[in-house]
Amino acid sequence: MTIPLGFWSRFRLYFLFETFVTETGLGESLHICSPIDGVYKSRFSRVGTITEDHSLAESLQIVHHPHPTLRHKSKPVQRVDGELVRVVRRMFDLMYEAKGIGLAANQVDLPLRLFVVNLAAQKGEGEEMVFINPVLSKPKGHEKMEEGCLSLPGVYGDVERPKQITVHSFNLRGEEIKTELDGMMSRVVQHETDHLDGRMFTDRLTETGKLSVRGLMEEFEVDFESKQNTGEIPVDSALNSRRAELETRYC
Ligand SMILES: [Zn+2]
């Protein structure tokens, strides 16, 4: 997500929450949990040996509206392997390159229920946080704030959301995180969780707001169609097959 705020001046903010784990003991059993009927039930998933296949992480790029994965409701992650740890590292790097503060898996064409956040928007600064299978609850108050999105660069609009929120999620080590959030972190976590449900911030604009960004969004739609026609972006059926394969592996 990108959120241009007054106090952060012209800094383009894109969103996310939790300490990124660079050393996760790959090859060990990782404790991964998934929400079932609103209750978290834990399970142990044996991860395989470290693979030298870096192709998934290295191939990732940020996708733009109207890429169909941005409209995909992601399923909970059930296992973490070495490749997924590299995927998360790559997501942080892509987010920093784009001057963002948060990035959801959908935005790199992955149907996985996770997102990354660093409010500092710079590598080596701030705190890197990973949220896996987040569940939001206990919304309090209302606040309007201008938002932007790495999947819609240059498009901004005011979005009203709860001011405070409680998030319940997991990190890469399968450790449970439950915390109350407010301010920018609350905003980012809500924006990124929307992505996991296939929702863009523009869906939450007022009718006037939607009208004001319509032209820009249509430009992205023309560009996307052109790239699919030239083969630069795979056709929808190929994108659907790839998502299904990834869900079989991780969900
Ligand atoms: Zn976004």
17 has a pLDDT exceeding 80: no
32 has a pLDDT exceeding 90: no
Query: Does residue 192 carry a catalytic annotation?
Result: yes
Judge whether 53 and 84 are in contact, CB under 8 Å.
no
Ligand 1 center from residue 52 Cα (angstroms): 31
Average pLDDT taken over every residue of the chain: 84
Smallest Cα–Cα separation from 33: which of 168, 170, 135? 170
Q: pLDDT digit string (tens) for 196-222?
A: 999 999 999 999 999 999 999 999 999
Mean pLDDT of 221-249: 97
Ligand 1 center from residue 212 Cα (angstroms): 18
Residue 2 is predicted with a pLDDT of 76
Task: Label residues 36-60 b or e (16+ Cβ within 10 Å = b).
Answer: eeeebeeeebebeeeeeeeebbeeb
What pTM does this model have?
Answer: 0.83
Smallest Cα–Cα separation from 149: which of 12, 50, 7, 11? 12
53 has a pLDDT exceeding 70: no
Mean pLDDT of 4-23: 35
Residue 55 is predicted with a pLDDT of 86
> Domain limits of the chain?
29-250
Residue 40 is predicted with a pLDDT of 34
Residue 3 is predicted with a pLDDT of 52
Ligand 1 center from residue 190 Cα (angstroms): 10
Using DSSP's 3-state secondary structure scheme, residue 41 falls into strand
Q: pLDDT digit string (tens) for 132-141?
A: 999 999 999 9
Judge whether 239 and 109 are in contact, CB under 8 Å.
yes
Residue 1 is predicted with a pLDDT of 82
Domain 29-250 has CATH 3.40.50.150: no
8 has a pLDDT exceeding 90: no
Residue 185 is predicted with a pLDDT of 98
In the Cβ-directed half-sphere of 99, how many Cα atoms lie within 13 Å?
Answer: 10
5 has a pLDDT exceeding 90: no
Residue 67 is predicted with a pLDDT of 98
36 has a pLDDT exceeding 60: no
Q: Which of 18, 128, 147, 192 is catalytic?
A: 192
224 has a pLDDT exceeding 50: yes
Q: pLDDT digit string (tens) for 85-117?
A: 999 999 999 999 999 999 999 999 999 999 999
The more confident residue out of 82 and 19 is: 82
168 has a pLDDT exceeding 80: yes
Rounded Cα distance between 186 and 193, Å, is 11
Ligand 1 center from residue 44 Cα (angstroms): 31
64 has a pLDDT exceeding 50: yes
End-to-end, the C-alpha distance of the chain in Å comes to 24
Confidence band, pLDDT 50/70/90 cuts, at residue 188:
very high
